[in-house]
Amino acid sequence: MEERTPRVTEVEHHGINPIPPAEQTSRPRDLFRLAFGGANTFATIILGTLPIAFGLGFWQAASATAAGVLIGALVLAPMALFGPVTRTNNAVSSGAHFGVVGRCVGSFLSLLTAITFFAISVWVSGDAVTGAARRLLGIDGGQVLRAVSYGVIALAVLVVCIYGYRFMLLVNRVAVVLGTAIMLLGIAAYGGRFDPDFAGTGTYALGEFWPTWILAALTAMANPISFGAFLGDWSRYIPATHSRRSLLAAPLLAQMATLLPFGFGLTTATLVTDAGDYITGLTAISPLWYVIPLIVVALIGGLSTGTTALYGTGLDFSSIFTRLSRVQATVLVGSLAVVFIFVGNFALDMVSSINAFATLIVLCTSPWMVIMMIGYWTRRGFYDVADLQVFNEGRKGGRYWFSRGVNWRAMGAWVPATGAGLLTANTPMIAGPLRDIAGGVDVSMVCTLATAAVLYPLLITLFPEPHEVFGPEGPRAVRTKLPNAAFAPLDGANAAFAPLSGTNVALGSSSAAASGSDGVQPDAGRS
């Protein structure tokens, strides 16, 4: 079939329905551009300033940031594997493990992340414009100018999201090159003032060094983890013929490259008077020749981060509220996010708000990702494209119906894992009753990942999943229930797909073949 690449100015008509193979024309490098472009922005710069705002010295903050980004990138990378096979986004793909109704967990996580990072991008861009106007023109528009700036930037983000994937890819291509160049130019702007021996304020956000260092690492980790629900939005346009290595490398390298904007924020935060009011302080100390490039980074970055966050949530909501098209759902979610932006910035403390949402993103999304990865491994990358769309199309049944559309095994691991993280969290705004279990050190990330990594395999071992969810090669390292003789794929013509191995192999209904008489299918034994 001839490949067709839609025009950039053509409004994308695909929602979460499977992308036709003929339109899977992207490459892993496009995934890199989107993942890096969406993070090579002022939103990431702001996250980079927070360790300094928490009271850490430069090298302390740098080590916490590097650790958070590296761990988060390693957790994130496997989430790029689903889209090329399922040809839909990761929230819908999660229906294979959480059930086609239970996959609404992924939609909730997408909404949480979208509102947070859309808000950060608009806040930062609007404040940069306001600060630059004060510096260049000597005018102080106050809250009115800020409100107008927020509104204009939010509207621009909505327009890009409405046009869809191709337009967003163009914006991120620009953001990668322009943002990188201007941040590197910052060496000339601030290099003479920077002191690597900056020791911090001496007052730690959590009272002691290690709890505050862990808080800084978790804050940095929120950036790569936040992409977990969104990688499938973009990787679904990549053919499954690409190797798993290239798909894993794209988001991993993209997140490691974000050490540039993290480093920019970390370095410049040591120069401003109040790291908690970073944008105002940065525009005040910037050379006049660098103010306009700074505005460009803020505006382009605001578009890049805002669109990568908002685009995916529009997809999800159009699948949950089926009367809404992708465009209508995007406008609805965007409008709700704008309300949050104004309330959060004018009525709440921005740094505390960002920290609270970053903590929620990490603790809620990371166990969901762990369950997805374990499921991918035990299923050998086998997914039925048609049956994943059951809930979105108002139908019932199929391989992933489980119990009323919910796989209680995955849900039974995600809820306790998230709960364990929240109970042990120790941040300024989210402090669980077990926060002192490790002497005040925040062990919430360890608890949430460990709980999911132990509980989900235990549950699918003690209570085997239906045979029908596995491919013809059978499961890996787990057993299955006796196959249901009445089961048949909902759409035999649009069959399941094998794991990424260089080819995309169509499968029929043979996955419902009979198994042993004990009612449990043993592991096929293949690696």
Would you state the pLDDT for residue 488?
Answer: 59
Asked whether residue 136 is assigned to any structural domain, the reply reads yes
Name which of 177, 229, 235 is nearest 28 in CA terms: 235
Would you state the pLDDT for residue 460?
Answer: 97
Asked whether residue 476 is assigned to any structural domain, the reply reads no
Asked whether residue 197 is assigned to any structural domain, the reply reads yes
Distance CA 65, CA 52 (A): 11
- CATH number, residue 163: 1.10.4160.10
Q: Which residues contact 418 (CB under 8 A, 6 or more apart)?
A: 363, 364, 367, 448
Asked whether residue 5 is assigned to any structural domain, the reply reads no
Residue 103: give the domain boundaries: 30-348
Asked whether residue 146 is assigned to any structural domain, the reply reads yes
Report the 10 Å Cβ neighbour count for 112: 18
Distance CA 448, CA 432 (A): 13
How many domains does the chain divide into? 1
Asked whether residue 439 is assigned to any structural domain, the reply reads no
Q: Which residues contact 3 (CB under 8 A, 6 or more apart)?
A: 22, 23, 25
Would you state the pLDDT for residue 494?
Answer: 44
Asked whether residue 150 is assigned to any structural domain, the reply reads yes
At residue 234's C-alpha, the angle toward residues 22 and 106, to 5°, is 120
Name which of 177, 86, 30 is nearest 375 in CA terms: 86
CB 212 within 8 A of CB 206: yes
> To which H or E segment does residue 383 belong?
strand 383-384
Profile the chain (527 residues) by mean pLDDT over runs of 10 residues. 56 79 92 89 87 94 97 95 95 96 90 78 78 75 76 81 79 82 92 91 88 92 88 92 96 96 95 80 88 82 77 70 74 76 63 74 93 97 95 89 96 97 87 88 91 97 94 92 63 44 35 34 36
Asked whether residue 135 is assigned to any structural domain, the reply reads yes
pTM for the structure as a whole: 0.83
Structure tokens at 224: 């790569």
